[in-house]
Structure 1
Amino acid sequence: MARSSDEHFSFPILIGDIGGTNARFSIITDQHTTPRDFPIIQTANYATIDEAIQAGVLDKTSVQPVSAILAVAGPIRGDEIPLTNCPWVVKPLDMLANLGLSDVMIVNDFEAQALAIASLGDEDQIQIGRGESLQGHSKVVLGPGTGLGVAGLVHARHAWIPVPGEGGHVDLGPRSDRENEIFPHIERIEGRVSAEQILCGRGLLNLYRAICAADGVAPILTDPAEVSTSGLANENKAAAEAIRLFSTYLGRVAGDMALVFMARGGVYLAGGIPQKILPALKGPEFRAAFEDKAPHGSLMQSIPTFVVTHPLAALAGLSSYARMPGRFGVATEGRRWRK
């Protein structure tokens, strides 16, 4: 694997956001043109990412990308990168050999979300509650979706530096008598409840089933979409409580991450779930839980929280980086492969 301090990427550039369920791709042909987006790909429909790129992108355009910058859901270590919630294994050396690419850069999926929030416009976000974003201060992005992604964004030396991690796997526990009734029924992984066990699609269903078990009733809803729809409409008591508790736990974890990064630039909720449950997040539970961080309640009140509404935020972040890599302090060592 060749490594270089050269930040430049040669056009055309393939950019991709690879999640556990869906993969989204665009091609940037030059510095100034609008990226060309391609139809969303369901990861389950292809055995490998190379097959998905070939069928879903390369076979649909005459433009041959020279470079690729891909955001993947999982830690990046070595030349084979398994995804956290998808059976794909990303192999950049194979991409260089098989897809006509000369330069492949892999970043964490929430690193891409962090790149996006560096330049979101007001039209791409909705503020929840009080607080004001301070220019040049750290930001945090959280995204409940197939899993729970977390990343920080720190401003230093005139550049935005994304800080990826696995913050979605921090511990989460009960704080009230009602939660003590519910938590024994939450599905565990090796004996513990992580934030991702509740704050994702399957986690919402997990929470709904635990509420039903605590109340001694049979669950009748079978997927996260049913839970969110019934809960928001207040058509099912357990689902409505699940949505309220989901908002509470998301507020707690978001508040924890705000403290870790001293995110006075704001905390951003990305991904599809926050947009779908926006009415619940605008209710009292989310913001109350976010601010309930004694002895730092007054600090938390000053930190704004936002729901990202840009439909392709991660791709927008990657596009900004591809065009102006010098604006961002993105580490390339061990994550960039070149012919």
Structure 2
Amino acid sequence: MQFLAGDIGGTNGHVALMRVADDGRGELETLAYRVFPCAAFPSLAELLRTFIDAELRASVSHCVLACAGQVMGDEVVNDNLAWPVRPDVLRAALGLSEVVLLNDFEALAHAIDGPLSASGRHLCGPSRRGPGASLVVGPGTGLGAAAHVPGAPDAVVLTTEAGQMDFAPHSLREREVLAWLAPGGGYVPVETIVSGPGLLTVYEALCALDGKAPTLTTPKAVTAAAATGGDRHAVEAVELFCAALGSFTGNLAMTYMPTGGIFLAGGFLSSIFDLLKRSAFEERFLHGRSVQTLLAQVPVWVTEHGCHGVQGAARWYVRHHAPMGITSPEGAAA
């Protein structure tokens, strides 16, 4: 039986037609895969319809979608999605009998058992994974994270809304940026700074603090200017972003002690890998004092997001939620 699997973020929607291979091992097969810009579609149903019309030769009735945000009842709660996501609307619009939702970083964490763990570039720490928990962390349109705890017969995945934690400044410059963001005090989530839009916000804040008019208007423009060194505020913004990401990731590591590795996911980080490697990320990740000995045992990689969210959603579905007729990778009915 074939089924649809998707990874729907704030910027792009990754959609695939999947099935479990009839090879005796139950490996997942990707029959078709496309990436769509979410802003080009008036609804998620239209995005999925475009994929279905282009790629399907036979009808499908089951769909699993990993979405940015948390599933609350029959909808996804997240401010970064382009439109509301409701399974009942999708079922009616597309003639599906089942639409199942899960968190996008929950899906990425399930992909750690697949090709995700072998696809990254080493950033810091040991070069090999240990036996403990793993984390997947990703700044994109927002900031997501999930934990993967190995176990038998299946790993346990813990979802989080870590990107909504309060931002804690480390340097005096970060305190100035925080004061610019919230001059009257109050709550500022980490993803306001540690995300793609957050990088642009940091750049604008630094310009304002120095009495300069910003000339760059997109996160991509900021990273490009930082790479060439052509704009000192862009350089500083990327440095502050990378340092803040290090502190945030180190805080999560102190919570889970993920000796199985941390995977920083997303095309955004992959595009600035050299800048990240030269930044204060590792210094801020290690934090200092006695905890540094513990955090030094945690390997960190940067990996492309790519199709891993789709693969993770499909792996979760066939193991835990698939109807009769779709067989799990272990060969048992899911």
TM over 0.5: yes
Alignment partner, residue 128 of structure 1? 123
| Unaligned runs of at least 5 residues, structure 1 | 1-10, 327-339
Q: 1:38 & 1:122 partners in 2: Cα distance? A: 21
Q: Amino acid of the residue matched to residue 39 of structure 1?
A: R
Structure 1 position 223 matched with structure 2 position 218: yes
Per-residue displacement from partner, 1:74-113 (whole Å, max 9, x unpaired)? Answer: 1111123344312422221233333232232210011111
**Partner SS for 2:71:** coil
**Which of these residues, 310, 316, 326, is aligned with residue 315 of structure 1?**
310
**Partner SS for 1:57:** helix
**Which of these residues, 262, 287, 296, is aligned with residue 301 of structure 1?**
296
Counterparts in 2 of 1:178 and 1:80: CA distance versus 1, 3 Å: closer
Root-mean-square deviation over aligned CA pairs: 2.3
Q: 1:283 & 1:186 partners in 2: Cα distance? A: 27
Structure 1 position 206 matched with structure 2 position 201: yes
Alignment partner, residue 28 of structure 1? 18
Structure 1 position 248 matched with structure 2 position 238: no
Q: Amino acid of the residue matched to residue 14 of structure 2?
A: R
Q: Amino acid of the residue matched to residue 14 of structure 1?
A: L
Alignment partner, residue 71 of structure 2? 76
Per-residue displacement from partner, 1:17-75 (whole Å, max 9, x unpaired)? Answer: 01011111000144356313343222222222122211232454213223211101111
Alignment partner, residue 332 of structure 2? none
Q: Amino acid of the residue matched to residue 109 of structure 1?
A: D
1:96-135 correspondence to structure 2 within 5 Å: 96-120=91-115, 123-135=118-130
Structure 1 position 151 matched with structure 2 position 146: yes
**Partner SS for 1:34:** strand
Alignment partner, residue 237 of structure 1? 232
User: Residues 251 and 287 of structure 1 are in contact (CA less than 8 Å); yes or no, is this contact kept in structure 2?
Assistant: yes
User: Residues 188 and 197 of structure 1 are in contact (CA less than 8 Å); yes or no, is this contact kept in structure 2?
Assistant: no
1:117 Cα offset (Å) = 1.9
1:324 Cα offset (Å) = 4.4
**Partner SS for 2:125:** coil
Q: 1:154 & 1:201 partners in 2: Cα distance? A: 28
User: Residues 117 and 263 of structure 2 are in contact (CA less than 8 Å); yes or no, is this contact kept in structure 1?
Assistant: no
**Partner SS for 1:302:** coil
**Partner SS for 1:251:** helix
1:151 Cα offset (Å) = 0.9
Q: Kindly, what percent of the aligned residue pairs are identical?
A: 31
Alignment partner, residue 93 of structure 1? 88
Between Structure 1 and Structure 2, how many residues are aligned?
316
**Partner SS for 1:180:** helix
Q: 1:83 & 1:59 partners in 2: Cα distance? A: 29
Counterparts in 2 of 1:87 and 1:284: CA distance versus 1, 3 Å: closer
Alignment partner, residue 60 of structure 2? 65
Please give the TM-score of this superposition, normalised by the length of structure 1: 0.86
Counterparts in 2 of 1:98 and 1:188: CA distance versus 1, 3 Å: farther
**Partner SS for 1:185:** helix
Alignment partner, residue 262 of structure 2? 267
1:163 Cα offset (Å) = 0.9
1:287 Cα offset (Å) = 0.8
Q: 1:189 & 1:124 partners in 2: Cα distance? A: 44
Counterparts in 2 of 1:146 and 1:187: CA distance versus 1, 3 Å: farther
Per-residue displacement from partner, 1:252-305 (whole Å, max 9, x unpaired)? Answer: 111111111121111110012110110111114111110115331100111111
Counterparts in 2 of 1:97 and 1:24: CA distance versus 1, 3 Å: same
Q: 2:13 & 2:99 partners in 1: Cα distance? A: 17
Alignment partner, residue 327 of structure 2? none
User: Residues 255 and 293 of structure 1 are in contact (CA less than 8 Å); yes or no, is this contact kept in structure 2?
Assistant: no
Please give the TM-score of this superposition, normalised by the length of structure 2: 0.87
**Which of these residues, 274, 285, 307, is aligned with residue 279 of structure 1?**
274
